Amino acid sequence: MQCRVCDSKNLELVIDLGYQPWCNHFLKQDEVGKEPFYPLRVLFCHDCATAQLDYTVKKEIMFGDHTYLSGVTKSLSKHFEEVAQEVDRIFGSAWKKKSILDIGSNDGTQLKHFQTLGYEVLGVESSKTTAQIANDAKVPTVNAFFNLDLVNQLDRQFKVINASGVFFHLEELHSVCQGIQKALADDGVFVVQFLYMPSIVENLAFDQIYHEHLLYYSLQTIETLLQRHGLSMFDARLASIHGGSIIAYVTHKEKAAPSERLTQMRQAEKESNFNSIETYQKFQLDIEQLRKENQDYLQSAKAAGKRVYGMGAPVKGNTLLNYFQVGPDLVQGLVEINTLRRGLYSPGMHIPLLMEDELDGSPDVYYVLAWNFKQEILKRYADLIEQGVEFYFPVNPKISA
């Protein structure tokens, strides 16, 4: 195994979440028990400090036909709108003709906000069904994996290239970076959003570790990767989405000086000594402690005869359920609003998914797997809380939407 960023072989195991199924494939009844399990382990690179999975589930298995639709979650759509407006406000006036390429464009939610602002848009989406939904909604979308070959075929440059939440599940990392470098106009900006590992660790958001996320970046480590491909970051800010993410602005090497806030964030990361193996070793101990707390809570709820349902069935919830060994004896169903998932079961632990209208009365406890939307959930269900339904957050975020 070589480091995915710097090719070093000097890697060390720091977090071991055992064998887990691929978490984004909820099971049909006849698939239950037949799903394959893969190791879920994080290694630390002693040379460039990048945290990364050692085992790669093939991208064709992972992204052939996923059912996650970004339009479904209100917080996300609003977040995408803000990003579009911010990009256009800061950079848009310098460009005569505005264009954007979105990598991993999903159902086109992000691109619609750019269309509103007068951009010519193009999406690249690997899921056939999802790409079709985007095209039906008049968001031009290519059904493909983004890499250098695709860029050569497109033979176009864009003022904006956007990659939100895909930059850590790229199997062909270097080909993707080369593609971005080539497709980005001279005066263009690459907007990259990624989970910020220091926030993940601070929030104990270990459930962001799953097979799709091959890489876990800090500023230092993503900048190592970008520089290798002739790109450099010149601005960045923290966002609360997904329990702590960074939105960073990147351009061709030496085209723009780093902003003051980026310089400060780099400095803070350095002073906290985040990019050290000790950070990850402590993280592993903290998540073992969290597992104990959750097991204790759910076992005592069971002993008290409480009806416990999971709220939401986010992909990351499966890391949590499998690592905590929480099955249908402890959580009787996962309540979900995405109707594409009606009648399915969670991979590994086999908890049935239920639509809100299939619920037989209110549960005693909602075990909130979508804990990163804590504020939104507490607000939306204020009346249930008033009626005495308990909302338990398996991870208590310091940063939440």
Q: Alpha-carbon distance 140 to 154, whole Å?
A: 13
Which span sits near Zn ion by CB under 5 A: 17-25, 37-45, 54-62, 313-321?
Answer: 37-45
Considering the complex, state which of residue 10 and residue 116 has its C-beta at the smaller distance from Zn ion. 10
# binding residues, Zn ion (CB under 5 A)? 8
Stretch that binds Zn ion, among 7-15, 145-153, 157-165, 194-202 (CB under 5 A): 7-15
No. of H helices and E strands in the chain? 13, 16
Q: Which of 2, 8, 375, 396 binds Zn ion (CB under 5 A)?
A: 8
| 265 interacts with Zn ion by CB under 5 A | no
CA distance 341 to 29: 12
- The answer to whether 284 and 51 have CB atoms below 8 angstroms apart is no
Task: Report the run of H or E that residue 297 belongs to, with start and end.
Answer: helix 277-303
Task: Kindly tell me which of 3 and 83 has the beta carbon lying closer to Zn ion.
Answer: 3
Stretch that binds Zn ion, among 1-9, 122-130, 371-379, 386-394 (CB under 5 A): 1-9
Residues in the chain: 401
Site for Zn ion contains 6 (CB under 5 A): yes
Span of 22-30, 41-49, 191-199, 270-278 interacting with Zn ion by CB under 5 A: 41-49
Q: Which is nearer to Zn ion, 142 or 215 (CB)?
A: 215
Q: Minimum distance between the CB of residue 281 and Zn ion, rounded to whole angstroms? A: 18
Instruction: Tell me how far, at minimum, the Cβ of 7 lies from Zn ion, in Å.
Output: 7
Q: How far is the CB of 49 from Zn ion (least distance, A)?
A: 7
SS (H, E, C) 93-133: HHCCCCEEEEECCCCCHHHHHHHHCCCEEEEEECCHHHHHH
Residue 285 CB partners (closer than 8 Å, separation 6+): none
Three-class SS state of 366: strand
Site for Zn ion in 45-64 (CB under 5 A): 45, 47-48, 50
Pairing outcome for strands 365-368 and 308-311: parallel
User: Min. distance of Cβ 1 from Zn ion in angstroms?
Assistant: 11
Residue 385 token pair: 């809380």
- Where do the DSSP E strands lie in 353-401? 353-355, 365-368, 390-392
Q: How far is the CB of 172 from Zn ion (least distance, A)?
A: 17
Q: Which residues bind Zn ion (CB under 5 A)?
A: 3, 5-6, 8, 45, 47-48, 50
